[in-house]
Amino acid sequence: MRIGKHAFLVAALVLVAAVVLVQPAWADKLADAIQEGITSGKVDPTADPGYLGIPGAPNVNLILAFVWAIWVGWIFSTVGAFGGVMAGVGHITIYGLGNYGKSFGKGATLNKMVTDSIRVSNQFLVGTSALITSFNYYKMGRLVLPLGVALAIGSILGSWLVPFLTAGKVSFSQYQGWFGVFVLALGVFLFYQTTPAGSASQKKAKVAAKAFQDSVKKQKEGGKVDLAAQGVRVVSFSPSKVVFTFFGVEFSFNPLIPILGGFVIASIAAFLGVGGGFLLVPFLTSVAGLPMYLVAGTSALAVLIGMITSIITYITQGALVDWGLVGIEIIGIVIGSVIGPKTSKYIPDRWLKILFIVLAFYVGLRYIGRGFDIGFLKIIP
């Protein structure tokens, strides 16, 4: 584990260096954008500064942000997904930054700057949770390291390419609408998996999940059970096939498939400003055939690498961060991410999937309605 810690330290130092060197240079760009807003009558220069120091911008309640961040950390560390989506819901809806960014109009510079700030802030939160989550699940024997690394390799290019091409070019309405489309599509796919036809190909995952649940039950009843010892064990590794076991059930995958999948998933996630767990979960449960108990940790490792790459790219392309807000949120993320792995083993595999589906339908329909201005969907609270 020492090598892993050193690797993360180097990555963290690179990220900090990018922020320290680049952020001050973009302060002038923000000042120009504010002046543009004043000229157009969208910014009141006499108003108190709020988000990003913009006069009249929302002042986010830090206690609310802290509590919401605990929820974000818990949901991501429990199911390996929806951390970025829930972080986005917080920044867009709970804190009121979405309506604020939209108020400047589609072509306004401040509209795009607030949108990029939301995207990169979401990723800071998910990246923090991914670090803690992947470490905890690895210790528990519930992280498929070769699979997570393969996904991470593919994610590096996608996490760099999309922010490089789209930073400063996406309006908030476009962002919110497509955010909803992808989340809703995911919900539909996961719902299909709960049907007899969709679950027919997941027999191994069900057997492994039942074995894990039985062991947890035995442990709760006072029996001596070493869950980590029965966790992920790599049996063989080659460029074309990796074989591993989890609670006596054998799984295998071709590393080239998750590398390609990691690129596609990271590209979509970087555009939406999320971690990508909401796409990694169906990939890992369907394509790789994993039980949900292995998904969270494996997803988190892939997300962590993608987040580091994407954050650095957004920062170097001019995305701004409200460090006071993000700092408070990261504390909440840490708390939620520590709690998640400890509580997830007591929640049945099917319940985790149902929770995921309900959240996907709600968030997807709501954001499609608001982003693309579809009247009957805008009634969703």
Encode the chain (381 residues) as per-residue pLDDT tens digits: 344 455 545 555 555 555 555 555 556 788 999 999 999 999 999 999 999 999 999 999 999 999 999 999 998 888 777 788 889 889 998 999 988 998 998 889 999 999 999 989 998 898 888 888 888 888 888 888 899 889 989 988 888 888 888 888 888 888 888 888 888 887 887 788 777 776 665 666 666 667 767 776 776 667 776 666 777 888 888 888 999 888 888 888 899 999 999 999 889 888 887 778 778 877 887 777 787 778 878 888 888 888 888 888 888 888 889 999 999 999 999 999 889 888 877 777 677 778 778 888 888 888 888 888 887 787 777
Asked if residue 362 belongs to a domain, the reply is yes
Give residue-wise pLDDT tens across range 226-242. Answer: 666 777 888 888 888 99
Distance of CA 262 to the CA centre of its chain: 14
Task: Name every residue whose Cβ is closer than 8 Å to that of residue 251 and which is 6 or more positions away in sequence.
Answer: 144, 204, 208, 243, 244, 245, 288, 289, 290
Give residue-wise pLDDT tens across range 321-376. Answer: 999 999 999 999 999 988 988 887 777 767 777 877 888 888 888 888 888 888 77
Rounded Cα gap, residues 192 and 76, in angstroms: 22
Asked if residue 157 belongs to a domain, the reply is yes
Region class of 247: left (phi > 0), else alpha (psi between -120 and 50), else beta: left
Q: Strand 249-253 vs strand 233-237: parallel, antiparallel, or unpaired? A: unpaired
Residue-number span of the structural domain to which 142 is assigned: 2-203+264-377
DSSP state for residue 53 in the 8-state scheme: G
Asked if residue 220 belongs to a domain, the reply is no
Q: Which amino acid is at 49?
A: P
Rounded Cα gap, residues 22 and 1, in angstroms: 32
Asked if residue 142 belongs to a domain, the reply is yes
Asked if residue 209 belongs to a domain, the reply is no
Rounded Cα gap, residues 327 and 41, in angstroms: 32
Asked if residue 116 belongs to a domain, the reply is yes
Q: How many domains does the chain have?
A: 1
Asked if residue 211 belongs to a domain, the reply is no
**Does the reported pTM lie above 0.85?**
no
Vertex 191: Cα angle to 340 and 215 (nearest 5): 40
Asked if residue 216 belongs to a domain, the reply is no
Rounded Cα gap, residues 218 and 341, in angstroms: 18
- Return the structure tokens found at 254: 């071709």
